Amino acid sequence: MRFVLVLLLGVASVLCARLQGSQLNEGQVLTVAPRDSDRFDTKAVAAPRVFFDSRRVLWVMYYYGKSFKFIEKHPDVTPLPTGYVGLAESADGIAWRRLDGPGEGGSVLAPATKKGAWDSAHVGVGDVMLSDDGKSKYTMYYFGGSLNDGLPSPSNASNTICGFPLRIGVATSTDGLNWRRARKPLLELAPSEKGWSGEGWPQFVQLNETTSLLYYHSQANFSAPFVVTAAIHQGKRGKWKRLDYPLLGAGPEGTYYSRGVGTRWVVANPNYNASSPAANLSDAGRALTLSTSQWWMFGESVAPSPNEHTISLFGSRDGFSWGSLYTLPVLMPRIGVKGAADSRFVGTPNAVVRNEGKEVWLYYVAVRQGEAEDPFDVKETPFSIGLAICKIDGDKIDCERVPSPLVPQTE
Ligand SMILES: *[C@@H]1O[C@H](CO)[C@@H](O)[C@H](O)[C@H]1NC(C)=O
Ligand SMILES: *[C@@H]1O[C@H](CO)[C@@H](O)[C@H](O)[C@H]1NC(C)=O
Ligand SMILES: *[C@@H]1O[C@H](CO)[C@@H](O)[C@H](O)[C@H]1NC(C)=O
Ligand SMILES: *[C@@H]1O[C@H](CO)[C@@H](O)[C@H](O)[C@H]1NC(C)=O
Ligand SMILES: *[C@@H]1O[C@H](CO)[C@@H](O)[C@H](O)[C@H]1NC(C)=O
């Protein structure tokens, strides 16, 4: 009898250890590189951008990150997890292997070394795509800031945060590893945006044969709400032009986006039926639902604490005018769950439609609550990349974090 009890207890404690291990790391698919390595991403990894690379015949993930070395060298540069852009690859989209790029610390894009360059302080990836015209050319829309620019810190106006305002740029590559950047930013800041924190996290979306949008977000200052807007490109030639009006602003008080939507990812609804009566475009008064939205936006919704950064879903019939689809976010941080990878924030969503439109694989950055109040405190390593699989059923969506393929980290 005693023997059985001991055995049972033994089994129970093994089970608990397993459960705890998987709970702590549930969803994590990429964590920071070992601190003593020469990698660019020892301090942070964020903003996964995943797509199936038909040239490599593998899934690829571009992301940005920064190292402890970078912070020591540039203590004044923004504490955002930006710095460098890197690349990882995967056969299934869950187990990832880092690749070594030709840039500093194994990055594929590093801050420009030319003095005073607009992207000399830090860079971050917005979007990467492989053109389907058979020429195997990759295009990256990225953002960054200059060592020559800065804005007053919101906590102490006599300190300058370097690397703002943010601007958007473009780079091209034939192999996805070696990138050539355009000398000038793709968009210059609008005169009306003087003093703004800039424009960042661009995403390219082709609306139809003739029209594309480059979504980005902007903020008047560090305490102003986040505003989603876009630049538009029409016809074969022609330039990107700002729309100069917000596509999605801050939601009403009490909503999960009462301080606006920052980083975001737009995908076409894979199950959209344009000829169904529910999708009647002239019936503009009808509230959008998941199935009647032609476009979906997974947005990093921002609100006062405790759920400051969550991921919420918005819908649109035309890509321009957006509305909230649910009262609750589709992915929430696990506030108060000690040691959870996302006990503070979830953000930088990236949505990949899979399984014939029945699933959306939602990659995101997970930020753990560190000991310090400031989530960007250099003593912490709270950033990792997570994955939740969202099952789509009519107007329902249900996102569940995947069990992590990684070895649980010791706290
Ligand atoms: C603000 O920063 C300045 C310069 O670093 C410093 O001298 C001052 O003490 C700071 N003020 C506060 C309130 O922290
Ligand atoms: C493409 O979309 C734009 C913006 O909604 C619209 O003005 C244009 O007429 C559309 N073109 C086609 C060919 O549908
Ligand atoms: C920041 O922007 C908001 C909204 O535009 C404005 O109300 C506020 O006065 C600005 N604050 C500062 C310090 O400029
Ligand atoms: C789309 O909706 C139309 C009208 O209701 C229907 O006849 C058609 O079968 C639907 N198509 C699909 C693929 O569901
Ligand atoms: C779309 O809605 C309008 C106005 O409600 C109606 O007149 C029209 O017949 C509808 N069209 C279709 C295809 O359902």
pLDDT in tens, the chain (411 residues): 344 443 343 333 333 334 444 445 789 999 999 989 999 999 999 999 999 999 999 999 999 999 999 999 999 999 899 999 999 999 999 999 999 999 999 999 999 999 999 999 999 999 999 987 766 799 999 999 999 999 998 888 899 999 999 999 999 999 999 999 998 999 888 888 888 899 999 999 999 999 999 999 999 998 899 999 999 999 888 899 999 899 999 999 999 999 999 999 999 999 999 888 777 666 555 678 999 999 999 999 999 999 999 999 999 999 999 999 999 999 999 998 887 899 999 999 999 999 999 999 999 999 988 766 665 554 555 899 999 999 999 999 999 999 988 865 443
Range of the domain at 179: 24-401
What is the greatest pairwise CA distance in the chain? 82
For residue 10, tell me if it sits in a domain. no
Q: Is residue 354 part of a domain?
A: yes
Look at residue 268 and tell me if it is in a domain.
yes
* CATH number where 384 lies: 2.115.10.20
Q: DSSP secondary structure string, 262-290?
A: EEEEEEE-TT--TTSGGG-TT-TTSPP-T
In-domain check, residue 14: no
Is 307 contained in some domain?
yes
Distance 293 CA to ligand 5 centre (A): 17
For residue 60, the one-letter residue type is V
Q: What's the pTM value of the predicted model, to 2 decimals?
A: 0.91
Nearest CA to ligand 3 atom 2: 224
Kind plus residue range of the DSSP H or E element containing 20: helix 2-25
Q: For the chain, give the number of residues.
A: 411
Q: Is residue 406 part of a domain?
A: no
Burial of 75 (C-beta count, 10 Å sphere; 0-12/13-18/19+): exposed
List the residue whose alpha carbon is closest to atom 9 of ligand 3.
224
Counting the structural domains of the chain, the total is: 1
Beta strand extents in 8-107 (DSSP E only): 28-31, 44-53, 58-66, 84-90, 97-98
Q: Which ligand 5 atom is at minimum distance from the Cα of 280?
A: 1
Residue 63 within a domain:
yes
Ligand 1 residue neighbourhood (C-beta within 6 Å): 156, 158-159
408 falls within a domain: no
